[in-house]
Amino acid sequence: MAVNGVYKPDMNRVPTGEFFLPSRRTNGFGVQAEDTKICVIMVGLPARGKSLIAQKVVRYLHWLSIKAKIFNVGQYRRTATPNPTAEFFDTSNSEGEKLRMAAAEAAVSDMCRYFANGEGLIAILDATNSTKARRRWVQERCRSEGIETLYVESKCDEESTIMSNILEVKTTSPDYVGQDPEVAAQDFRNRIRNYEKVYQTIDEDESDMTYVKLIDVGQRVIINQIQDYLQSRVVYYLMNLHIRPRSIWLSRHGESKYNLEGKIGGDADISDRGELYAKALPGLVKKSVGDNRKLTVWTSTLKRTIQTARFLEFEKLEWKALDELDSGVCDGLTYAEIEERYPDDFKQRDEDKYNYRYLGGESYRDVVIRLEPIIMELERSENILIVTHQAILRCIYAYFMNVPQERSPWMEVPLHTLIKLTPKAYSTQEERLKADIPAVSTFREKGSSAKHQ
Amino acid sequence: MDTLLTAEVAANSPRFRRRSSTFVDAIHDLPEKEEMAPAQLYSTESGRLFHSGRIVIVTVGLPARGKTHISVAVARYLRWLGVKTHVFHLGDYRRATLGPGKDVPDDYFFVNASPSSVLLRNKILKKCREDIYNFLEHENGQVAIYDAVNAIAAGRRSLAREFAKHGIQTLFIESQCNNERIIEENVRSVKISSPDYIGWSEADAVKDYLTRIASRIPHFETMEEMELHWIKLINAGERVLVNKCAFGYLSQRIVFYLLNLHIKSRRTYFARAGTTTTEDSYKADASLSPEGEDYAQKMGETLIQHREAERQALIDRGGPNDALKSLTIWTSTRRRTIETSHYLASKGYRVRQRSQMSQMNPGVCERLSEKRIREKYPEEVAKHEQDPYHHRYPRAESYHDLAVRLEPIILELERENNDLLIIAHESVLRVLYGYLMACNAQDIPKLDFPRNEIIEIIPASYNNSAKRIHIPDLPEQLIPGSPEDISIPVPPSNMPSGTQSGAISPFTGIGTPKMQGTPRLTPMHTPTPSIHVAPNVALDSLGITNTAPLPVGAGATATSVPSDLVERVSERVERPAKGPGGGPGTAYSGGGPPGHEAGTPPPQPLRIMETNVDPNS
């Protein structure tokens, strides 16, 4: 993996072998806790960030180990009508109307099956659901299946937000694959106009329903009839979201003296090569961020991240929550020493790295819990650069890239590399910028004791 | 004069107490020393968290809309998370300024009040604000909750401006209510206990109170100021409007909490699960023994009788002849908690199983005797004795882990509208009790829930109180702590050996071999009948004891404070003896500094039990 002393990253690499799956919610005797089934129903005109929101909610829930799935009505519709024009969405077009209803039917049926099979706790119905009649229909379908409903309306009249969404959709939406962007944008505007003719916002008539209405990107929020904790948790997350374009940059600290010695944890200074990275970082950031963009730098409270970020001329915040995973009694040891002194622990950690908790320290699961404020703040903020540690970065990266929890602790996160993540409606884009400064590898493969290079 | 006034505020406010104890809701206490809150994830040098800055939460709403309840509840949650929070009730300052028994002038709340009323108003406000600034600027406070009516938009705008000058964010929380029933229930449960209404029937008192509000606060403007940060709760959370609250992590987290809060009054009961047939352990999930079944039935009957008697008492006091509030039961997914609920389920009560409520994982201590644990893990035992709240044995959970994992349950607990009975393992009960009564983290592992008592938490707007409901006729061996309980009870100091309760460890087989002669700490005070002083709580004949009273003479050190408001210096109150060999129930006050560190503690037994342990070991 190291070529000429330069470490080559492979963050998406997945180790093979059996993974310990998260514990099931039974007690082993068939006693099953009552679980709520919630259908989150998106409501709103096109280009209001519905798909982006749906995708984020699913990622967030996965990150919390709650199974969730999106049912995108558009995808069902596309199987019959792959590249429809705006006329298709005209309500006076009875053929289009019929096909769209059939797509909604198919999506809702699949969703009911998903719940019936116990595949998850939350489903997200991603469609415009722009009329009261359509919402009532979904409501009735869910009620007959014992599924709770939570309507999420994104209402936004801010021209600039809508425009940036249109720009994005015309380039990324499957409906406009291979089309001239200008033509696509015009068609998309016409499509929105057709929806506007029939659009009914959620109002007093629907006060019996559970809903949250996000007005102008969370400036105002109306929340009605929340029924349980899980719904409130989703609403809490939604309130922190915005749909303006932004990016997040992630970097590990520069190589530390402990890295050189192969020790984990501690609060060591950065090495000479780490110092080089710290000096190179402002240029790297400038190249990736561009000029005139407001950026805030977050570091942990440990020396190696603060030292790494110290040449960056942006506002900086230190977060205790970004400190490295606490390795308890193993703090300051090398992997070889851990294997020697705590052989059972070493083995157990390999078996279930996500849940394994160092003696007197933390597990990845613990870290995810303490990162909750960080994730919420990240969602609320715009452009953020985070300089932090390997385990923490894995967790944050896993959140944005939807990496399953049994895999995230095994991802390689190279030193001296700047990662840029840009959330888009259908996925998160990733770019990497490598500073050409050699560093040791701190990656330990499953089952090895990682003699550090 | 002003410093004296602060003392007066304390003196005239029953909820200002100088010391915390586990049997009284400590939500109005200021922590004496820096320590981690029960669900705090990490601490920072500044003492403030989440880069959220300092926030004043300002309540808005007419009287009897649950403002005080909301203030206290938000404070309870934030402090649980480790955010330094304090509630400033303007009413306390009003009462302190006016002196006992005096009321504000009739035009006090008027927009065009007379000059003398305006002066009085300003004097009261000034003191309260000074205390808020002091808390935020000099005591590392992060959130101050300013509990007042704040009826006028112009006043709210100037408040926000004033705080902004000090670099403090202002978040308004309005409670709006157009449901008469909720308002009346609030008036009944909170407002009419004042001396003004002694001798009135409840119905008349409620009517009079509402008329008085209407005439005294004729102007009220609901929040519509689009430039301010506010949350409007309509009808106890049926609907929530949020305006510009995305200014910080904490503000959003508060909204999250408020989404689960309602202002209706309801009770929470805690009960232990019954005992099981076979040897009990964390991994084995055994069914109830015949004794356990018997316990389940007696517990259920006691609770039903108790609730019926309380309802009757309310009617006798002139309350409405309503049906009882529904009762919901939560159990964990363990067999014995579910089976303990069967009796009540058979009576038609709704039972929900909550997987998050499973007990603390004992890790390597599973089925080890205390002796074995001491042999195998002497270092861990030493660490555990140092910090029983945060320490975890290898592969085990700590109380802190449990508290963090119980977050969904805590929010669901706030959300529940029905009365609620929680049947769970003692470790879970400890943490939930610790949340509801604002216990210090270090006290939580020591809380004790004997099986012959149901604990009832009664919410009042200023603080919660707890009651014990005795379950009669249980065999003594059922009473002690859980077999696989990992806790080290710290014995109270200065305890004359003669007063140690014989009831505590009556049986050495099933439960607590090492408990012989070890006094147990109780989460609440069980007073002897002679010292009941609380005026507004009806006692009845079901063995229910009141919790408000103070042991006579205990801790009477501050001479300026009325004697019935003196806080007990002692945190440790012995349970009254029930078994043979015990002395009378004794409240004691430590002679030295409060807390168990005074005196020479007896050796601290580790209470990790297993059923097959030799009782004589």
B305 touches A: beta carbon within 8 Å = no
Cα–Cα distance for residue pair B412/B432, rounded to 1 Å: 12
* Predicted confidence band of residue B415 (pLDDT cuts 50, 70, 90): confident
Q: Chain A partners of B241 at a C-beta cutoff of 8 Å?
A: 220-223
Residues of chain A with pLDDT under 70: 1-35, 169-170, 447-453
Look at residue A318 in the predicted model and tell me its pLDDT: 87
Look at residue B282 in the predicted model and tell me its pLDDT: 66
B103 pLDDT above the threshold of 90 = no
- H-helix or E-strand spanning residue B125: helix B115-138
Strand partners, A215: A155, A220
Tell me how far the alpha carbon of residue A93 is from its chain's centroid. 38
Answer for the pair B555, B568: CB distance below 8 angstroms, yes or no: yes
Residue A4 marked ligand-binding: no
Answer for the pair A316, A310: CB distance below 8 angstroms, yes or no: no
Q: Chain A partners of B424 at a C-beta cutoff of 8 Å?
A: none
pLDDT tens for residues B150-209? 988 998 999 999 999 999 999 999 999 888 888 888 787 777 666 667 677 788 888 888
Q: Chain B partners of A236 at a C-beta cutoff of 8 Å?
A: 252-253, 255-256, 259
Q: Look up residue B575 and give its DSSP letter.
A: P
Q: Please write down the HEC assignment for all residues of A194-239.
A: HHHHHCCCCCHHHCCCCEEEEECCCCEEEEECCCCHHHHHHHHHHH
| Binary contact (A320, B42; C-beta < 8 A) | yes
Look at residue A12 in the predicted model and tell me its pLDDT: 39
**If we measure between CA atoms, which residue out of B436, B457, B448 comes closest to residue B270?**
B457
Cα–Cα distance for residue pair B424/B444, rounded to 1 Å: 16
| Binary contact (A377, B44; C-beta < 8 A) | no
Look at residue B194 in the predicted model and tell me its pLDDT: 61
- H-helix or E-strand spanning residue A151: strand A148-155
Whether this model's pTM surpasses 0.95 = no
Strand-by-strand arrangement of the B464-470 sheet: B350-353, B327-331, B419-423, B268-271, B453-459, B464-470, B544-545
Catalytic machinery residues of A: 253, 340
**If we measure between CA atoms, which residue out of B271, B272, B270, B273 comes closest to residue B288?**
B273
* Predicted confidence band of residue B590 (pLDDT cuts 50, 70, 90): very low
Catalytic residue among B29, B92, B147, B485: B147
B315 touches A: beta carbon within 8 Å = no
**If we measure between CA atoms, which residue out of B600, B594, B443 comes closest to residue B521?**
B443
pLDDT tens for residues B243-294? 988 788 888 889 889 988 887 778 999 999 888 876 556 666 788 888 889 9
- H-helix or E-strand spanning residue B185: helix B180-186
Q: For residue B41, what is the nearest residue in chain A, using CA coordinates?
A: A370
B597 pLDDT above the threshold of 50 = no
Greater confidence (A186 vs B615) lies with A186
Cα–Cα distance for residue pair B247/B252, rounded to 1 Å: 8
Name the residue facing B249 among A224, A369, A373 (closest C-beta).
A373
Residue A257 marked ligand-binding: yes
**If we measure between CA atoms, which residue out of A426, A419, A423 comes closest to residue A382?**
A423
Cα–Cα distance for residue pair A64/A135, rounded to 1 Å: 28
B564 pLDDT above the threshold of 70 = no
Q: How far is A74 from chain B (nearest CA, A)?
A: 31
Answer for the pair B415, B263: CB distance below 8 angstroms, yes or no: no
Which of A207, A208, A239 to probe by mutation at the B interface, max B CB count within 10 Å? A239
B411 touches A: beta carbon within 8 Å = yes
B242 touches A: beta carbon within 8 Å = yes
Which residues neighbour A108 within 8 Å (Cβ) at sequence distance 6 or greater? A71, A125, A138, A141
| Binary contact (A223, B241; C-beta < 8 A) | yes
Residue A258 marked ligand-binding: yes
Q: Is B540 a catalytic residue?
A: no
Name the residue facing A369 among B51, B241, B404 (closest C-beta).
B404
**If we measure between CA atoms, which residue out of B94, B84, B82 comes closest to residue B38?**
B82
State phi, psi for A170 to the nearest 5 degrees. Answer: -65, -25
Strongest mean pLDDT among B203-212, B433-442, B485-494: B433-442
Look at residue B195 in the predicted model and tell me its pLDDT: 60
Residue A62 marked ligand-binding: no
Residue A18 marked ligand-binding: no
Look at residue A385 in the predicted model and tell me its pLDDT: 96
CB burial of A387-414 (b: ≥16 within 10 Å; e: otherwise) equals bbbbbbbbbbbbbbbebebbbbbbbbbb
User: What average pLDDT does the segment B478-482 reach?
Assistant: 62
Q: How far is B173 from chain A (nearest CA, A)?
A: 14
- Both tokens assigned to B377: 């893990």
Listed in order, strand segments (DSSP E) in B77-135 are 85-89
Name the residue facing B415 among A31, A229, A323 (closest C-beta).
A229
Name the residue facing A219 among B244, B334, B415 (closest C-beta).
B244
What is the torsional sign of CA B92, B95, B96, B97? positive
| Binary contact (B243, A320; C-beta < 8 A) | no
Which residues neighbour B269 within 8 Å (Cβ) at sequence distance 6 or greater? B303, B419, B420, B421, B422, B454, B455, B456, B457, B469
User: At B147, is the secondary structure helix, strand, or coil?
Assistant: strand
Strongest mean pLDDT among B15-29, B43-57, B417-431, B591-605: B417-431
Q: Look up residue B602 and give its DSSP letter.
A: P
* Predicted confidence band of residue B523 (pLDDT cuts 50, 70, 90): very low
* Average pLDDT along chain B: 72
**If we measure between CA atoms, which residue out of B603, B575, B601, B573 comes closest to residue B589?**
B573
Find the helix packing angle between A132-144 and A94-116, rounded to 10°.
30
Q: For residue A370, what is the nearest residue in chain B, using CA coordinates?
A: B41
Look at residue A138 in the predicted model and tell me its pLDDT: 94
